[in-house]
Amino acid sequence: MMALVTIYIDDKKIIANSEKTILEVARENNIEILTMCHLKGLTDVGACRLCMVELEGSPKLFSACTTKVAENMIVTTNSERIKRYQRITTELFFAERNHICAVCVSNGACELQNLGYKVGMEAIRYPHLFPQCDVDTSHPLYVMDQNRCISCSRCIRACAEVEGAYNWDMMGRGYQIRVISDFNTPWGESTTCTSCGKCLQACPTGALWAKSIVQGQQDKHPEFITDLMERRKMKL
Amino acid sequence: MVNTDKNTILISPVTRIEGHAKITLQLNEAGEVADAKFHVTEFRGFEKFCEGRMFTEMPTITPRICGICPTSHTLASVKACDMIMGIRPTYTANLLRRLMHIGQNLSSHALSFFHLSSPDFLLGYDSDPAKRNILGVAEKFPDLAKRGIRLRQFGQELSERITGKKIHIMGIVPGGMAFPLTEDNRKALLEWVPEAKETTLQAIELIKRFHEENEEMVRTFAPSPTLYLGTVGPNGEHELYDGKLRFMDTDGNIIQDQVDPKNYLDYIAERSVSWSYRKYPYYKPFGFEKGIYRVGPLARLNVASQMKTPLAQKEFENYKAMCGGKPLHGTFYYHYTRLIECLSDVEDAERILNDPEVTSLHIQNFGRWNYDEGIGSSEAPRGTLFHHYKTDRTGKLLMVNLLIATGQNNPSMNQSVLEVARQYVKGDDIQEGMLNRVESTIRCYDPCLSCSTHALGQMPMQIEVLDAGGELIKSLERN
């Protein structure tokens, strides 16, 4: 049941709707919290662990996108500890797959690349896994490149929640997790994909891209997903 | 000096070139140079790791082969992609691609002549190695050094004002170009032309003066005849961006003309050697031993019947007159031909920038995968460059063959090094200036061995002398 609560984010007193998450309230109040897996309009899953915040009274961190605000909650988003974790998380994204910005189709238009700049990543301190990843070019219009996937699952949720096609899903666990088409079959053979391209718009990196473009022409609009969902809610 | 082997001289690393290499000179019992080997000691692997990628990614991946001539790689690559898609770029896109290539050629040639080679001409082959670099030139000839740097800047600005970046540009795409040229940028580029033209003419005067003053050395500097390969237009005119191949024999006879680059494998074959990562390409009909051919500015001017622009044509006629219309084989003439190309580039840039269509917005045609094979070529600053891709039915690359200009010059570079070493290196009494002459033979070709430039010549140089039995007897170290 909706109620108004008083919370404090980085010492700023805010009256907020109790149905909302810390992330939503922070953004409404122009407080920046880094995210990769959040895309407004889609269900939040707390997958990327970038939006971790400190709550007074608890030693553990909470993901801002999945934690709802509560009365007298005292939230810290910018402590040194948080910044340190953000850098670690970002570096782990880069170390886990084969992210080579210089030759990526999304170079210059990539949320992961921007995140690296934002957290001040100068080097990756962890050993790269350099996994052998497939590039699925079987779809006539699009490419799925596992090398550049960060498993944020935005494509999966866009496909399921907006398009209703349920083409994408997850397979495996931990660092071996993979986004798959249908039952791990080539995307071009999918019986569910409508080729709508929403997954491309939702993808924050160069993992999903259109065959018709090359580097310098990447022009993704994840806000399309948000707009679609807003209009749908308003029954427009 | 370290004496370990009597009859081999090793120059490693070779300085003021792009990349890493070393030279081994093998002496015989009499202390004369018996054999020379120019080793390329690095391995890149582009052909292999590009397999499995979408073909449309190649114009982005392959320019990373080199920071000096990325645009040439992009152009060869997009042309291969155009062929796979079965589309042609628009008229304006071709103009912009040509401009990009001119910028590439100018900046590379200016780097080669002013930054890397001019210290030898202006300061002397035997001058103090510590000052024999562009900074030494700047100290003694400040105006010329500045002009040389600015000529290179013009080349890079062409790239920046068309695609937003000086190197590793993104904007040359299959079917055309991604960004149009704005009127402001067109005007700004045109303003560079008079200065660039003047600089090029001054440099031509400089090299011609050097030719006169050092006639014997220039004439005898690695003059072994080779075949030549270059791109020409429909009337045999000098061409850098788009044309057909012409092969010329040692006497100047055209042995193949108007060959479509997509048929390159009918005429060029490659062989590997155990002591270098670089392959040995050769003119297939003549076989490995007799098929040594050269590419690059010297080859392009040797095979061309004419230039496309008036001032360059005048110089070209002077060049042709030097050998009665026959090809000039002297490796030293690479410098002169490089500068004639610079002049042609500047004039051609002026012509293109004055074309009313250059700022048109019709810059890209669109297509998708249609054919499973694409071959593109362009005349990189160092010579003819081929990109050859084969794909599956989804556009995924199954085979990549990149035939790089410097690779094609490799056999003749070895031959030239041997000739100059025989001329200047005698026994184990090795002077630094002798080694610089051997190195400068390689610099004539302006080899692009990787993507790094040791423009200041700060790398240590080591020369080793081995005896006939292979034992190292002497080592000379620079720095």
User: What is the ipTM metric for this complex?
Assistant: 0.89
* Architecture (CATH level 2) of domain A4-78: Roll (3.10)
Directed axis angle between helix B310-321 and helix B193-213, to 10°?
10
Q: Do A137 and B395 touch (CB under 8 A)?
A: yes
What is residue B459's predicted lDDT score, i.e. its pLDDT?
A: 38
In this prediction, residue A172 has a pLDDT band, given cuts at 50, 70 and 90, of: very high
Percent of chain A with pLDDT over 70: 100
Chain B, 34 to 63: residues with Cβ < 8 Å from chain A are: 52-54, 56-57, 59-61
Best probe of the A interface among B44, B48, B57, B75, by most A CBs < 10 A, is B57
Structure tokens at B277: 């990562």
Q: Do B170 and A107 touch (CB under 8 A)?
A: yes
Would B449 be classed as within a structural domain? Answer: yes
Of all residues in chain B, the one with the smallest CA distance to A140 is B394
CA of B446 vs chain A CAs: smallest distance (Å): 26
What is residue B216's predicted lDDT score, i.e. its pLDDT?
A: 86
- pLDDT tens for residues B164-216? 888 777 889 999 999 999 999 999 999 999 999 999 999 999 999 989 988 88
Q: A136 pLDDT exceeds 70?
A: yes
Asked if the C-beta of A131 comes within 8 angstroms of chain B's C-beta atoms, the answer is no
Residue range(s) defining the domain that contains residue B446: 5-44+420-477
Would B39 be classed as within a structural domain? Answer: yes
Residues in chain B, pLDDT under 70: 1-21, 39-43, 273-278, 427-430, 447-468, 471-479
Average pLDDT over residues A136-154: 97
Q: Do A216 and B59 touch (CB under 8 A)?
A: no
Give the integer Cα–Cα distance in Å for B463 and B443: 17
In this prediction, residue A41 has a pLDDT band, given cuts at 50, 70 and 90, of: very high
Helix (H, G, I), strand (E, B) or coil at A144: strand
Would B40 be classed as within a structural domain? Answer: yes
DSSP-assigned letter for residue A42: S
Contacts of B190 (CB under 8 A, 6+ apart): B350, B353, B354
What is residue B7's predicted lDDT score, i.e. its pLDDT?
A: 64
Would B327 be classed as within a structural domain? Answer: no
Percentages helix, strand, coil for chain A (3-state, rounded to 5) are: 30, 20, 55
Reading phi first (left if > 0) and then psi (alpha if -120 to 50, else beta), residue B19 is in: left
Would B32 be classed as within a structural domain? Answer: yes
Q: A42 pLDDT exceeds 70?
A: yes
Would B82 be classed as within a structural domain? Answer: no
Average pLDDT over residues A41-60: 96
Q: What is the count of structural domains for chain B?
A: 1
CA of A198 vs chain B CAs: smallest distance (Å): 21
Average pLDDT, chain A: 95
Structure tokens at B231: 């791109």
What is residue B460's predicted lDDT score, i.e. its pLDDT?
A: 38
Closest CA to B125 of B457, B432, B416: B432
- Confirm if B225 and B300 have CB atoms less than 8 A apart: no
Q: Do A137 and B61 touch (CB under 8 A)?
A: no
Q: A115 pLDDT exceeds 90?
A: yes
What is residue B195's predicted lDDT score, i.e. its pLDDT?
A: 96
Question: Which CATH fold topology does A84-228 show?
Answer: Alpha-Beta Plaits (3.30.70)
Would B10 be classed as within a structural domain? Answer: yes
CA of B319 vs chain A CAs: smallest distance (Å): 42
Would B255 be classed as within a structural domain? Answer: no
CA of A104 vs chain B CAs: smallest distance (Å): 8
In this prediction, residue A81 has a pLDDT band, given cuts at 50, 70 and 90, of: very high
What is residue B461's predicted lDDT score, i.e. its pLDDT?
A: 45
What values do phi and psi take at B462, rounded to 5?
-125, 135
Contacts of A233 (CB under 8 A, 6+ apart): none
Domains of chain A, residue spans? 4-78, 84-228
- pLDDT tens for residues B410-422? 788 778 878 877 8
Judge whether A4-78 and A84-228 match in fold.
Answer: no
What is residue A158's predicted lDDT score, i.e. its pLDDT?
A: 97
Chain A, 68 to 127: residues with Cβ < 8 Å from chain B are: 102-105, 107-108
